[in-house]
Amino acid sequence: MVIHPVFNLTMKHIVIIGNGISGVTAARHIRKNSDYQITIISSETRHFFSRTALMYVYMGHLKFEHTKPYEDFFWKKNRIDLVFDHVVKVNAERQQVDLKSGNTLHYDALVIASGSRSNKFGWPGQDLVGVQGLYSYNDLVLMEGNTKAIKHAVLVGGGLIGIEMAEMLLTRGIRVTFLVREPEFWSSVLPMEEARLITNHIRSHHVDLKLTTELREIISDHEGKVKAVKTEKNEIIECQFVGLAVGVSPNIEFLSDSGIRTNNGVLVDSYLQTNIPNVYAIGDCVERTYQLPGRKNIEQVWYTGRMMGEVVAQTICGTPSKYEPGPWFNSAKFLDIEYQTYGTVSNVLSPAEDDFYWEHHGQKKAIHFVWNKDSKKFLGVNTFGIRLRHEYFDRWLRQKKDIQFVIAHLQEANFDPEFFERHENEIANAFYQKYPSFKAA
């Protein structure tokens, strides 16, 4: 049974910890729906920036100021107070947060949106100079310094941050060796076909991609700087930089004595409320205590953070709303290959599922459909080098369309620019060739 939170009508001051996409979305929506006093605290940067764009600053595509989605006057104009400080402690009982500067802020409702931090798994040498992850603005500054005039870098961990770091380093003419535990790149998430496509693409950019390879230790020179890494296979690779891109975990250490319940992340109910009334958590730092079908309890993605911000604002402003994201979607770019996914495509098919994979010969394009074997219900799609319309796939997934419908209507869902080569007929023909029974039906 769901008990709706009770609201204190005199509630005035909303304090948000963290100025990432989650916290800022919450603030914007609270402002639209109320006159509450809003304060955002961050010790990372004074103003909100797009974390996903940090790589472009390093690569010289953008300047840092270009990553700010709102001009600096926006905050004052919308009466959102920004505090550039670090939260050292939350005192839930007295409804206040203690800041590093010694200041204290009283809140009527608190939103924890403190994000993640990069994982380190206790490797020897992981704290040497020249070893780092990439998550925050500080990491970017650090990486700028750590990679000055170096020749060779080693990256550990085959995920989205790893491939970003590889792309970044390549633009500086730095040789990259990439250690990936899985048999193909990101095959913990992508089915083998796609993983192989990306693996080949990475190699075509002259990255020395070492698959099924794990890090054993990082070796120091006499100044405490990284000199080389040693793999589990005892191979020694000389390098002047090590990028640790082995995932992130909720950044919640500062909550340890607060009375707010945490596990790996801050534990929240379906209203994104913690065990303490009027204390909410959103974004990367959240661990849901309830299940959503086909989804993990910690989801560290831009979009989920944004959606939680939207929902928590409704709740705080008097319309209690559950966090119920629609069908899963995500996107990324692997060097030159754009990737989008809608619905659920697991790396390994379940026995109840069937799939169809199409890859273009010559161009780096592919598409992968998954559906339920019995009901024919369409479950998800991965697409590479072909843009698809989110709106259409979201609708089809909600309406539980079958796979034939999706194949037949694929043309409408194409989102590529004008004059781009279209492949829907080719895909449909290949599909019917493999599954002739669908054609009859």
Partner 1 sequence: MKILKITGLLLFVAGFFVFNASFFWADYRLTENAVKKSIHDEQKQALFLTEASAILDRPVSSNFEFIHYVSEIFETINEKQLTKYAITEDELDRLAKLSEATFSIANVDSVFRTSNETSSFKNKVFKDFGGSLESRTFSSPEELHTELKNVSAKVRDYAIINRAGFDRYAQKDIKYSLAKASAESPVRNNPLLYLLLTFGLCIIGAALYILPKIKESKGIKNNNIFFHPMKNVGWLGILTGTWLIVFYVILYFFPEYMTNWIIMVDPISEMLNGHEAGRFFLYGFIYTLCILVMGVRMIIHYRHSKYQIFRTLSVMFFQTAFAFLIPEFLIRLNKPYFDFKNIWPLDYSFFFDFRLDQLRESGALGIFMLGWGIALIIIAVPVFVYFFGKRWYCSWVCGCGGLAETLGDPYRQLSDKSLKAWKIERWMVHGVLAFAIVMTAAVLYTYWTKSSWFLIVDSYSLREVYGSFIGAAFAGVIGTGFYPLMGNRVWCRFGCPLAAYLGLIQRFKSRFRITTNGGQCISCGNCSTYCEMGIDVRWYAQRGQNIVRSSCVGCGVCSAVCPRGVLNLEVKDEEGRFGKPILIGNNNAKLDV
Q: Would you tell me which residues interact with partner 1 (CB under 8 A)?
A: 21, 28-29, 32, 50, 52-53, 56, 59-63, 66-69, 71, 171, 204-205, 302-303, 306-307, 310-311, 314, 321-327, 329, 331-333, 335-336, 338, 340, 387-391, 394, 415-421
Q: Which amino acid is at 338?
A: E
Nearer to partner 1 (CB atom), residue 112 or residue 386: 386
In the complex with partner 1, the residue whose CB is nearer, 215 or 410, is 410
DSSP 97: E
Nearest CB to partner 1, comparing residues 256 and 425? 425
CB of 316 to partner 1, least distance (A): 13
Residue 284 CB, shortest distance to partner 1, in Å, is: 14
Residue ranges with strand state E in 221-292 = 226-231, 236-238, 241-244, 248-250, 266-268, 279-281, 286-288
User: What is the closest distance, in whole angstroms, from the C-beta atom of residue 293 to partner 1 in the complex?
Assistant: 13
Q: Which is nearer to partner 1, 123 or 329 (CB)?
A: 329
Tokens of 212: 């099924």
Both tokens of residue 252? 């919640």
| Shortest Cβ 144–partner 1 spacing (Å) | 11
Cβ contact 165:142 at 8 Å: no
What is residue 243's three-state secondary structure?
A: strand
Interatomic CA distance for residues 277 and 326, integer angstroms = 26
Nearer to partner 1, 14 or 90 (CB): 14
Taking a C-beta distance cutoff of 8 angstroms, is the pair 365, 378 a contact? no
Please say whether the beta carbons of 165 and 147 come within 8 A: no
- Pairing type for strands 104-106 and 96-99 reads antiparallel
158 or 305: CB nearest partner 1: 305
Q: Are 305 and 113 in contact (CB under 8 A)?
A: yes
